[in-house]
C-alpha cells in the first residue's frame, strides 16, 4: 500500500529518474548518483533520498545457476529497490494491467518497485549479483506467491 509519501521525479535523456516516487502497483527506473574518481567510482544510497522508504532489509542474490529464475511473487505492502551491482539480469514486472521487462546491467541504475507488483528475475549473467533494498523486514504474510490469487486481488482493487 505504500507509505503515502512521494518525491519529485526527474528524468534524464535516457528516461531514467534521479528522484523517487512510488505508488502501489507502480515501478520506476532510476539513476543512482555516481561520484567519479580515478581510483574507482562510488555510488551511495540513502533512505528517503534515493529510495522513498526507510531501508529495513538488505539482501542479494548471487551464484544463480544458468537458466534459473528468482522472484515469482508480489508483496502486499513491501517496496523495493533492485540493482544489478555486478553482471546483468532481466526484471519482469506485472501489476495486472501493465507489464515490462527491464534489463539491468549497470550498478548505478536500479528499479524501484511499489507494492502489488509481480516480479520475476531471470537471464542472470555469469557472476551477476542482484542487490535488493526493502522497506520492511521479511514477513511471509506480505507475499503473494500464487499469480492467480494475486490477479484476483488486483482485479478487485
Which residues are the active-site residues?
A: 73
Distance CA 94, CA 4 (A): 21
Q: Find the radius of gyration of the CA atoms of the chain.
A: 15
Distance CA 42, CA 49 (A): 16
Cell numbers 522508504: residue: 53
Distance CA 78, CA 122 (A): 21
Taking every pair of C-alpha atoms in the chain, what is the biggest distance, in angstroms? 53
Residue 26 in grid coordinates: 507502480
Measured in whole angstroms, how far is the alpha carbon of residue 151 from the centre of its chain?
20
Burial class (CB in 10 A: 0-12, 13-18, 19+), 98: exposed
Amino acid at each position: 500500500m505504500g507509505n503515502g509519501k512521494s518525491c519529485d521525479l526527474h528524468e534524464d535523456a535516457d528516461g531514467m529518474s534521479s528522484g523517487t516516487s512510488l505508488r502501489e502497483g507502480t515501478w520506476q527506473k532510476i539513476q543512482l548518483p555516481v561520484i567519479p574518481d580515478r581510483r574507482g567510482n562510488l555510488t551511495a544510497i540513502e533512505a528517503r533520498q534515493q529510495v522513498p522508504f526507510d531501508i529495513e532489509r538488505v539482501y542479494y542474490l548471487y551464484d544463480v545457476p544458468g537458466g534459473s529464475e528468482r522472484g515469482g511473487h508480489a508483496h502486499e505492502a513491501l517496496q523495493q529497490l533492485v540493482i544489478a551491482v555486478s553482471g546483468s539480469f532481466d526484471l519482469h514486472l506485472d501489476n495486472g494491467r501493465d507489464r515490462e521487462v527491464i534489463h539491468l546491467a549497470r550498478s548505478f541504475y536500479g528499479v524501484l518497485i511499489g507494492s502489488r507488483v509481480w516480479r520475476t528475475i531471470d537471464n542472470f549473467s555469469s557472476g551477476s549479483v542482484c542487490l535488493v533494498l526493502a522497506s520492511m523486514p521479511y514477513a511471509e504474510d506480505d507475499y503473494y506467491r500464487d499469480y492467480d490469487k494475486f490477479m484476483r486481488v488486483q482485479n478487485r482493487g
